[in-house]
Amino acid sequence: MEDKKWPTMEEAWTIVRQYTQNERLLLHAKAVSILLAAFARKFGEDTAKWEVAGILHDFDYERNPTPETHVWAGMKIMREMNMSEDLITLIASHADYTGVPRDTLGAKVLYAVDELSGFLIACALIKPSKKLADVGVASVKKRMKEKGFARAVDRDAIVKGAEALGVPLDEHIRFCIDALLPHAGELKV
């Protein structure tokens, strides 16, 4: 039996705010957390744990933005905080370069929503209304073909994420938009 800790949402937010000042990164953490919670409900998993993983998945990114440091620094910090190895492994799996396999449903979902969440918000922000409610699946897929739009977003990860969940890309995008919509105000879209 593991006696290491899986933080509460309040503890997770305290950690994220300690390491992250950038509002976009904080909104990204919130969006990923919302999506992980939606998938946890869909699959009958532990919503609270998945939400925490979403909040914490990039907590070290602002201070450690390179593949040589991002995730690795976060793993070290989480171990120093005596956090659950299951949580650490789940978070480590979201970055391809760590080599940590996505052999749990939580890892597959985190990977599937990480890049897509940012892309959906970018799609909303270019709408005249700047509202997620005006973003459709067809427009998201069209924007995915535009290399100059939201160029930091890994389109292959979006496609591979849907494949890992065994759902068509259109269905995955629609589910994620629908899950984020009730939280549009919090996400400023």
**Per-residue pLDDT reduced to its tens digit, 30-61:** 999 999 999 999 999 999 999 999 999 999 99
CA neighbor of 110 nearest in space, from 189, 31, 174, 170 = 31
Query: Two tokens at 111?
Result: 């990977």
Per the structure, how many domains does the chain have?
1
Answer yes or no: are the C-beta atoms of 153 and 161 closer than 8 Å. Answer: no
Query: Two tokens at 161?
Result: 């994420």
What average pLDDT does the segment 68-74 reach?
A: 96
Q: Does some domain include residue 2?
A: no
CATH number of the domain within which 133 lies: 1.10.3210
DSSP conformation class of 183: G
**Per-residue pLDDT reduced to its tens digit, 78-116:** 999 999 999 999 999 999 999 999 999 999 999 999 999
Q: Say how far apart CA 115 and CA 117 lie, in whole Å.
A: 6
Answer yes or no: are the C-beta atoms of 32 and 113 closer than 8 Å. Answer: yes
| Phi, psi values for residue 135, rounded to 5° | -95, 125
Local confidence band at 1 (pLDDT 50, 70, 90 cut-offs):
very low
Q: Does some domain include residue 35?
A: yes
Q: Does some domain include residue 100?
A: yes
Q: Does some domain include residue 1?
A: no
DSSP conformation class of 18: H
Query: Two tokens at 120?
Result: 């959906």
Domain of 145 in residue numbering reads as: 9-187
* pLDDT value of position 176: 98
Q: Does some domain include residue 3?
A: no
